[in-house]
Amino acid sequence: MASGDVWILGITMTKFGKRPETDTVGLAAEATRGALKDAGVSMRDVGVLAAGNLMGGGALGQQLQKQVGQTGIPVYNVANACATGATALRTAIMAIKAGEVDMGLAVGVEKLSGAGLLGVRGPRAQSDTWQPEGRQGAIMGLDGRVNTDNMPGTFAQIGMEYGHKYGGVSFELFARISEKNHGHSTLNPLAAYNKAMSKEQIMSDVMIAYPNTRPMCSANCDGAAAAVVVSDEKLKTLSDDQRKRAIRVAASVLTTDPYEVGCQVLPNVNTLTKNAAKQAYETAGVSPEDLDLVELHDCFATAELVHYDNLMLCDEGNAVDFFESGAPHRDGRLPVNVSGGLQSKGHPIAATGIANIWEICHHLRGEAGDRQIQGAKVGLAHVIGLGSACGVHILEKAAA
């Protein structure tokens, strides 16, 4: 295996929101051209393409090449639930680490405007008698009776389970977490929604799955993000400006669920996130105390709370105290979701994993505008997809 660091040379995200003027391939091409321009390179320099998309049928990478340049390079079409973008980036990173290429491109894109609540299934057959059916019939198909397999219900249960175990949670607490993120979004011009909301407005909105009301849920929208990654040796041959803006990938980790009896019924987003975070900190040689900002997967307000704990931003069981201390606010000790998070930045599924990294990179470069976290040197980006898959990347500012 090749040694040496891998660097993010260029990265971009499109405006998230409703984008009726373009299709999935057009959005991906917009992000790709933006990342190549940001990196100061062209498709001729790229040795591998990893294209992430869930809804487009599985051949996005080849379709994208017809728009941005067909050079005969290998293409990996990636689908890994909400961790798709992070998985695409990791695919390009691994190709560089293996010594196969010295530059790679990762893209994530989705068209989700008007998609409604993803993961909500159609009506179940109503019967007082249950018969196991299919490969997972012994543990699935009991929605609303034993458990739920839709995302709003699952993450509602996850948040309430945390409160049952450690105490201190309330409807108002989760609304205040959402209030924080909606407030942060007002400084992000690329967010799908740039509107501050009070906790009262959030609490009085439509209830989706208690305790998550509509503003506490991730916003399905259209969007794309792309990143160019490069080997350490290749970076040394580039210009001073390219080297100064490059961001070091200190850790790139992807995990899935270890076997647990409980997670055969209710997905456990906690264990695989804790495992990913532990591996990432060890690989990067840093601790949570070294982080200057975090972009985590707040698909619901309840998810953000539990991931404070899972990412070890606080001591075990102390997520409520961490939030109450003001730490995750933009002016706090460890800002979380300065972008506005998925609840207001938006969640075009396959793009999110790279978009979270885009946000971190811009703070480390000092290019985040009005929401800039001053002096940021180390950041963590996290995504999780039910099924389950968790991606954690730790990024560091270039030393010179």
Strands (E), the chain: 6-13, 48-52, 75-78, 103-110, 207-209, 212-213, 223-231, 247-256, 293-295, 378-385, 389-397
Claim to verify: residue 85 and residue 184 sit in the same structural domain: no
pLDDT value for 136 = 53
Contact indicator for 30, 21 with CB cutoff of 8 Å: no
Instruction: Label residue 263 exposed, middle or buried (CB < 10 Å: 0-12, 13-18, 19+).
Output: middle
Is 0.85 topped by the overall pTM?
Answer: yes
pLDDT value for 100 = 97
Q: What are the 10-residue block averages of pLDDT along the chain, 400 residues in total?
A: 81 96 96 98 98 89 96 97 97 97 98 67 51 57 57 89 95 98 97 96 96 94 98 97 97 93 75 97 98 98 98 98 98 98 96 98 97 98 94 90
Q: Is residue 131 part of a domain?
A: no
Claim to verify: residue 192 and residue 238 sit in the same structural domain: no
Dist. CA 380–CA 392, nearest whole Å: 7
pLDDT value for 261 = 77
Claim to verify: residue 240 and residue 298 sit in the same structural domain: no
Q: Which domain holds residue 185?
A: 151-215+251-395
Claim to verify: residue 317 and residue 203 sit in the same structural domain: yes
Question: The domain spanning residue 241 has which CATH number?
Answer: 3.40.47.10
Claim to verify: residue 92 and residue 165 sit in the same structural domain: no
Claim to verify: residue 244 and residue 262 sit in the same structural domain: no
Claim to verify: residue 110 and residue 100 sit in the same structural domain: yes
Q: Which two tokens stand for residue 197?
A: 């909301």
Structurally, how many domains does the chain consist of?
2
Q: Is residue 183 part of a domain?
A: yes
pLDDT value for 114 = 73
pLDDT value for 124 = 46
